[in-house]
Amino acid sequence: MSPQPDFLAAGHDPKDPNPWLALYLDRSTPLPDAVKEAWLVDSSSASRQYLLPIIRPLARAFIVLIQIVKMVMPKRWSASRTLHWILAEGMKRLVAPEANWLVMRHFHLGAQILAFIARNSPVPVETTPLTPVALDELKDDLFVKHDINLFNLVIRLNQALREHGEVLAPVAEPDFSMIQEPAVRLEDMPRGPLNVIDLQTAIECFTPIFQFFLTDNDFWRAANSLQLDETIGLYAATILGAPQHLILLNNKHPLVPMSTLRAGYRLVLHGLSSEMLHALLTRLKEAQHSASPQARAQAEAAAL
């Protein structure tokens, strides 16, 4: 069992309140305790405090430099397999366990959220779930495939809705059957002596590498898939009939593409938005189950 993080072990000092403890105890945003703890352990790490402020401006400078270099390179040149090998090996050897766990969870959460929207659409929509359980599985172009899945869902859903003259609408009893805890565990993540780089620093480091090894079109699509957070949130809120849940999302308007310079920061927001939306769907699934006649009958039988 992992030791308690410092902000939990130290307790509360009213004269010197710990900001990480305040964020952990706060319930205004829906996150499971284990996820919030991992997120805050990662966010409060020495890597994020001391390394990120140095890495971030350097990484953004490299993005500008690589964009200039790409002006004279063949437009269709790319090396996606090399890119994903570098990303997977870098994560295995350098990235902190909490950061790796959150990244691996993200693929599962994304697959489940897209499946939720497709299953509760008035028209059939195909999805292609990505559910890696080991870091080596990322080498199969999974980062690029994840971005492609988002755009494919939006295109397939709206093409089908237009063809059938339908619109996405609230569902009285949504199907939450695909919403479940991802089959990846924090304790299975690598814990070598160099596995210390936090999530935000790792993403800032990997973003210019991502840009270099992909075509401009692929990198632009990947960066602007983050704009779809609001789109996916709108779909989920429409199905749930709960527009107030859109307050959980904050990755800018989908019709206004942003500079790729801030892609690393926005990718972190994308991951957090996915975690919160999945946590919300999990709560609603549990509430629906507890309110079902079958669940009530089981509870009454157990009480006898």
**pLDDT tens digit sequence for 174-218:** 999 999 999 999 999 999 999 999 999 999 999 999 999 999 888
Higher pLDDT, 293 or 221: 221
Contact 195, 99 (CB under 8 A): no
Residues 6+ positions from 203 with CB-CB distance below 8 Å:
264, 267, 268
Could you report the per-residue pLDDT of 222-256, keeping only the tens digit for each?
Answer: 887 877 887 888 899 899 988 765 655 665 666 66
pTM of the model: 0.89
Position 162 pLDDT exceeds 80 = yes
* pLDDT category of residue 48 using cuts at 50, 70 and 90: very high
Average pLDDT, the chain: 88
Which helix (H) or strand (E) covers residue 271, if one does? Answer: helix 263-291
> What local confidence, expressed as pLDDT, does residue 227 receive?
73
Residues forming a β-bridge with 95: 197
DSSP 136: G
Residues 6+ positions from 143 with CB-CB distance below 8 Å:
83, 84, 87, 210, 222
Could you report the per-residue pLDDT of 8-39, keeping only the tens digit for each?
Answer: 888 888 889 999 999 999 988 889 999 999 99
The rounded distance, in Å, linking the Cα atoms of 304 and 291 is 19
* pLDDT category of residue 300 using cuts at 50, 70 and 90: very low
The rounded distance, in Å, linking the Cα atoms of 99 and 102 is 5
